[in-house]
Amino acid sequence: MATKLWEKNVQVNERIDKFTVGKDREMDLYLAKYDVLGSMAHITMLQSIGLLKEDELKTLLKELKKIYLSAERGEFVIEDDIEDVHSQVELMLTRKLGDVGKKIHSGRSRNDQVLLDLKLFTRAQLKEVAGKVQLLFAALIRQSNTYKDVLMPGYTHLQVAMPSSFGLWFGAYAESLVDDMTFLQAAFKICNRNPLGSAAGYGSSFPLNRTMTTDLLGFDSMNYNVVYAQMGRGKMERNVAFALASIAGTLAKLAFDACMFSSQNFGFVKLPDECTTGSSIMPHKKNPDVFELTRAKCNKIQSLPQQIMLIMNNLPSGYFRDLQIIKEVFLPVFDELKDCLDMTTYIIERIEINRHILDDSRYDNMFSVEEVNRLTLEGMPFRDAYKKIGLDIAAGQFVPNKDVHHVHEGSIGNLCNESICLLMQQVVDGFNFHAMEEAERKLIEKAG
């Protein structure tokens, strides 16, 4: 068994080692290239304050870049007897460069190292999620505009209620994503603050330049108070999880609608054949498996904030090993949500719409409100008009006028999709992903 970074004279029991390491080797593969990026910034700062020589910095940066590229290619491996990604990177440097590799940990702890890795990983993932949300948003807006004049029933209590339209249906989910993206932006801004230099949560006697590492890594600012930087572990993941859950909630609701509307009892939409499956016994079946799985996965994602809260709940200030377990539920969730976004976008772009839903007389009564409003506009008191139309329906004498004229903002005839698109663009612009991307690019380039 390899020596731990923290071991002195007593070697840890093998069973204890297995229990305490848990899934860290597996989970830390998500963080590998970000751990290297953080080390690049940290040692650049160490050289500026005299803790590394210039030639040592160049040698370390060159070797770190090799490790970074191996992680990008998916070739980075955490060896069986190595505790975590931080230990693996330091071991690789020491094997190649000798004592110089042992200098990279000056002025930091694995506590602020993993905090930094998590933030760098998370902000990159949030950028990917935001990009996929934008693609789904664009697909929904296109379909909303395409089918803006195609009416469909609107429901309350799952009872036929009033006229709606596919323009409204698609557009509603587009605008929902705007709110989700606003939440995502807030999570990104909480994430995009630099904890490096807080060490174990109480700072360092080295004259660290935390402003420098903040700039080198393209953070908006730093977590200034070193104790709070450590208290942010778990809190950042929880806040991000709430934002992801908000997106997942929108997808789950859309998936439920699509499953219901594609059933024979509704027949409002037809899902792409390649997104449905058959039955082993019923040859006529076309099951909406993709959307059913999307609904289930997204409902699971909506439980993530509660999982994180229960792991970190009531911990006092300072670091505790409990926080390690958060990685197991948090790190894999991004890929799951991105898959759901991809699948939903694929189907929305190819979904077929029934343009003749309202030919069915079962939907005639949903035009009753239109008739009540027409009589009211002609001068009849609303309550009298309501009663008259109700009696006509009861007597089987109601004849609907299906020519619907809604003109107010956000209604069938005035979807306000341009305004919704403007809102989305304002949210997207507020992320400022460019700053982090440019900073990371410069760090890699500087390494040679």
CA separation for the pair 251, 295 (Å, rounded):
7
Q: Which two tokens stand for residue 338?
A: 């991105």
Q: Which of 200, 347, 178 minimizes the C-alpha distance to 259?
A: 347
Tokens 């970000």 -> residue: 34
Alpha-carbon gap, residue 123 to 129, rounded angstroms: 10
If you count them, how many residues does the chain have? Answer: 448
Q: Is 157 labeled as catalytic in the residue annotation?
A: yes
Compute the distance between CA of residue 120 and CA of residue 213 in angstroms, rounded to an integer.
13
Which has the closest alpha carbon to 184: 226, 225, 241? 241
Decide if 262 is catalytic.
no
Tokens representing residue 435 in the block: 């700053």
Q: Whole-angstrom Cα distance, residue 135 to residue 257?
A: 20
Which amino acid, one-letter code, is at 289? Answer: D
CA–CA separation, 39 and 196 (whole Å): 10
Active-site residue, selected from the candidate residues 221, 279, 317, 419: 279
CB crowding 16-30: b at 16 or more within 10 Å, else e: eeeeebeebbebbbb
Q: Which residues belong to the active site?
A: 157, 279
